[in-house]
Structure 1
Amino acid sequence: MLSNTGINKVILLGMAKEPFRQSAEEGHSFLCFNLVTTEYVRKGYEQTEHHEYHKIKVPEKLIAQDSLHLAEGQSLFIEGKIQTSSYYDEQRVKRYSLEVVATRVDILSTIDINVLK
């Protein structure tokens, strides 16, 4: 019989942008960055690139355990789960943020980001 539980799993392949460290209120620290994924969308007779930016949080213990050295411009394979958090903006309006908490990070390649600029 099926239970009432779901599956929360994300698999992404993309390029890392500007990693930075962040500490959570509970004392945990994370390495955070945007992961850019690209897909090609057909518009009429042409195919155009569509870029999507995903907020990624990698727990510090995962980085230490796997001896990862993440930097901008690396091509990454990410497995993780979607997590939603809320915050209040300057006008006291409740906003929501969607992020991926990584459970696995594999570095596929490193390119020189300055070549792309």
Structure 2
Amino acid sequence: MGTLKNQVQLIGHVGQEPQVTVLENGKKVAKISLATNENYRDSKGEKQTNTDWHQLVAWGKIASLIEEYVFTGKEIAVQGKLTSRSYEDKEGVKRYVTEVIVSEILFLGGNGK
């Protein structure tokens, strides 16, 4: 089990257009939100869907691929690792963020554009 360290795999649909930024050092970073759905039947036997939203961050070549090929509604599969960080907002309130740092991406569901 030593090789199973902080690995996340998700398949879902992109919730908004990617936010791609080029940093001062020339490195690209892309940020997107991904919706994953879980379907189940409730106690009355009715179908229910639970949607979770995940914040994804990709760097370098993967960020460039996202910039070129990813758009709102696109189905993708990603692999990466979970990271958590905190920051203070403009009002001085401490905020906590959990993100998936993407190491691999797979485009699913056809072109769509």
Q: TM-score, normalised by structure 2?
A: 0.78
Instruction: Read off the aligned partner of 1:102 and give its amino acid letter.
Output: V
Q: What do the CA deviations read for 1:42-68 (whole angstroms, capped 9, x no partner)?
A: 332123111111001111322447996
**For residue 89 of structure 1, what is the aligned residue in structure 2?**
89
**Runs of at least 5 residues in structure 2 that lack an aligned partner in the other structure:** none
The 1:26–1:92 alpha-carbon spacing in structure 2 relative to 1, beyond 3 Å, is: farther
Give the match for residue 10 of structure 2. 12
Tell me the amino acid that sits aligned with residue 76 of structure 1: I
Runs in 1 of length 4+ with deviation above 2 angstroms?
Answer: 22-29, 60-68, 110-113
The alignment's C-alpha RMSD in Å is 3.1
Change in 2 beyond 3 A, CA 1:112/1:76: same
Q: TM-score, normalised by structure 1?
A: 0.76
Structure whose residues are more often strand by fraction: 1
Q: Does the C-alpha gap of structure 1 residues 53 and 111 become closer, same or farther in structure 2, counting only changes over 3 Å?
A: farther
AA aligned to 1:30 is V
User: Residue 30 in 1 paired to residue 57 in 2?
Assistant: no
Shift of residue 27, structure 1, vs aligned partner:
6.3
Q: Is the 2:76–2:106 contact (alpha carbons within 8 Å) kept by the matching residues of 1?
A: yes
1:47 to 1:111, Cα distance in 2 relative to 1, 3 A: farther
CA contact (8 A) 1:58 1:103 kept: yes
Give the SS at the match of 2:18. strand
Whole-Å separation in 2 of the counterparts to 1:80 and 1:91 = 32
State the percentage of identical aligned residues: 26
Higher mean displacement: 80-89 or 40-49: 40-49
Would you say the 8 A contact 1:73–1:110 is kept in 2? Answer: no
Match of 1:56 in 2: 56
